[in-house]
């Protein structure tokens, strides 16, 4: 049996579940102003790998949790990821005209609508969670824990902290420590939220939760280092930006701070640590292990 | 006993509770990137009337609910209100250099930080709610209902819908129906959320909830009409913008669409309807009635 084709099949399965749920989460109405939904849907549909929600589903399922219970949280995380990309692309931020190979949100809908569409997606993430919790019967403890994990990782001490550092550090050199902190926040926090929301809803024991936190931290780091390496090497990066654009624009990346060779060693180290962290789950964690390799080996 | 000075005293009391809670809700740390908190605090502290959280507290208390139970929701609503003002002021939106008499957020911190500070305040609103719910013992039904009321009123079918209409209708004439719908969303939705969150946490019976929804809709409308009248009459409006600026900039306002005289009649009608809606609460609703008069009579 080919492990790789098995992985692809399973990933595709999760991807379809996520895409269908996202599609039906933004129901348009015909009242005035409904055009905000077009701007929200444009970026949400421009999809990509859906790594974060796939992680949530996989972790929850590995622990014996139900897909329907984790799905609203998984979609919420993808909405938060999408809003952050829309706002990141704005002229006042990274000023990117393209995202994942298509014109960025503000190039299609204008800056004002892009700001509002981002706001609306962040808000919708929590609408989705609220609506799920209202309908859910029984104990809400796991839901509340998952919501708190998502909110705290997405906010001023998580993802937004990383964006703040990124904005304020352009064209000045960062120490290795602060570079790592920035990326742990900017990319790592939401990957962390995805894995740990899955852990909450799946009902992880304390030791399992800690192992998954270790796994999440390491794949988050691996994800960012790989991005930086691809950016320098000249493949198209995850954003569909011209190659080398981050390095050229004076951004601090693993490749510019450490050099390619050392960055590659760091990547291998993070992937190995992520895989090690899964030891307590044995064979059940096969898919999560494969995700760590996939993050290392991907070309976009 | 002077009713007006009683009202002021009570309002001041609620205001202090809200301001103290807001102050302590944004705890800075000393890790890199903590400057995001400065930008968040700047606008949150630039305060104003705190009408929305005061409404939440007053409604909840009238129904016999506890201040501590409503406070996180009241603060969340004020954070959402504040983020919307920060984003509204951006050059791509209303392009306002001043807000409540002081330079707007992006004039002090730059556009990128203003976008992030807005995002962080919206996110923080739900962090606050999540953290409250995690600590709370017992049944979470009322909390979840309050959270859903807030999220749905703040989002693409509430406040953001109104902002979308506002942006897309500049310099084209709106019908009276669409003007009212725009304002019901843009200003009304968050006032609605404030009143109804108080109703949820206070444990309103269904008929009480409906009466409070009617009250909220009418004071929301009154608030906007009064703003528009002040804008034309040349008082400083709530935003501290030069008088007449909305009318001059081609925005659709009650005063430009209906004329001053008819707008004043509409204002009186909304205030009367708000007061009528409170009949079922008898004397207990004195403070809420006074808020309706305060909205009508205020000069800023």
Q: B247 or A206, which is more confident?
A: A206
What is the complex's ipTM, to 2 decimals? 0.94
pLDDT over 70, % of chain A: 93
The verdict on B152 touching A (C-beta cutoff 8 Å) is yes
Q: Is the pLDDT of residue A245 over 80?
A: no
pLDDT value at position A208? 98
Judge: A156–B123 Cβ closer than 8 Å, yes or no.
yes
| A85-112 confidence digits (pLDDT tens) | 999 999 999 999 999 889 999 999 999 9
Kindly report the number of other CB atoms within 10 A of residue A269's CB atom: 14
Question: Which residue in the block uniquely carries the two structure tokens 């399965």?
Answer: A13
Q: Is the pLDDT of residue B93 over 70?
A: yes
Q: Which of A112, A120, A133 sits opposite B92 (nearest CB)?
A: A112
* A43: chain B residues, CB-CB within 8 Å: none
The residue range of the domain holding A212 is 3-297
The verdict on A208 touching B (C-beta cutoff 8 Å) is no
pLDDT value at position A242? 46
The verdict on B69 touching A (C-beta cutoff 8 Å) is no
Residues A160, A178: Cα–Cα separation, whole Å:
15
Q: Which of B31, B147, B178 sits opposite A130 (nearest CB)?
A: B147
Min Cα–Cα distance to chain B from A167, Å: 7
Q: A21 or A244, which is more confident?
A: A21
The verdict on B263 touching A (C-beta cutoff 8 Å) is no
The verdict on B112 touching A (C-beta cutoff 8 Å) is yes
| B122-160 confidence digits (pLDDT tens) | 999 999 999 999 999 889 999 999 999 999 999 999 999
Total of domains in chain A: 1
Q: Is the pLDDT of residue A2 over 60?
A: no
For the segment A186-211, the average pLDDT, to the nearest whole number, is 97
Min Cα–Cα distance to chain A from B54, Å: 23
* B40: chain A residues, CB-CB within 8 Å: 156
Testing the interface with B: which of A127, A159, A175, A251 to mutate, by most B Cβ within 10 A? A127
pLDDT band at B244 (very low <50, low <70, confident <90, very high): low
Q: Is the pLDDT of residue A236 over 50?
A: no
Question: Which residue in the block uniquely carries the two structure tokens 């002229």?
Answer: A91
Residues A44, A18: Cα–Cα separation, whole Å:
11
pLDDT value at position A237? 43
On the 0-12 / 13-18 / 19+ scale of CB atoms within 10 A, B130 is buried
| B155-209 confidence digits (pLDDT tens) | 999 999 999 999 988 767 788 889 889 989 999 999 999 999 999 999 999 999 9
User: Residue B252 sits in a domain of what CATH number?
Assistant: 1.10.600.10
DSSP string spanning A239-298? T-PPTTHHHHTT---HHHHH-HHHHHHHHHHHHHHHHHHTGGGGGGGHHHHHHHHHHHH-
Q: What's chain A's average pLDDT? A: 91
């Amino acid at each position: 049996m080919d492990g790789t084709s098995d992985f692809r099949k399973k990933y595709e399965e999760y991807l379809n579940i996520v895409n269908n749920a996202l599609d039906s989460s933004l129901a348009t109405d015909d009242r005035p102003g409904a055009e905000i939904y077009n701007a929200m849907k444009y970026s949400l549909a421009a999809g990509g790998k859906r790594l974060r929600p796939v992680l949530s589903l996989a972790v929850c399922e590995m622990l014996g949790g139900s897909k329907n219970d984790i799905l609203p949280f998984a979609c919420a995380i993808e909405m938060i990821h999408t809003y952050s990309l829309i706002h990141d692309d704005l002229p006042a931020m990274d000023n990117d005209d393209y995202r994942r190979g298509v014109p960025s949100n503000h190039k299609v809908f204008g800056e004002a609508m892009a700001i509002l569409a981002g706001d609306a997606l962040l808000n919708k993430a929590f609408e989705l969670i609220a609506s799920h919790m209202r309908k859910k019967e029984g104990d809400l403890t796991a839901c509340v824990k998952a919501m708190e994990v998502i909110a705290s990782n997405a906010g001023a001490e998580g993802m937004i902290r990383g964006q703040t550092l990124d904005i304020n550090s352009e064209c000045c050199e960062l120490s290795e420590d602060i570079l790592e902190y920035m990326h742990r926040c900017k990319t790592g926090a939401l990957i962390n939220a995805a894995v740990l929301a899955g852990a909450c809803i799946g009902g992880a024991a304390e030791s399992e939760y800690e192992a998954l936190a270790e796994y999440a931290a390491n794949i988050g780091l691996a994800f960012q280092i790989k991005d930086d390496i691809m950016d320098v090497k000249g493949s198209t990066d995850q954003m569909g930006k011209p190659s080398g654009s981050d390095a050229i624009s004076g951004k601090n990346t693993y490749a510019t701070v450490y050099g390619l060779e050392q960055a590659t060693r760091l990547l291998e180290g993070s992937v190995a640590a992520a895989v090690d962290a899964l030891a307590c789950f044995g064979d059940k964690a096969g898919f999560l292990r494969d995700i760590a390799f996939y993050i290392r080996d991907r070309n976009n």
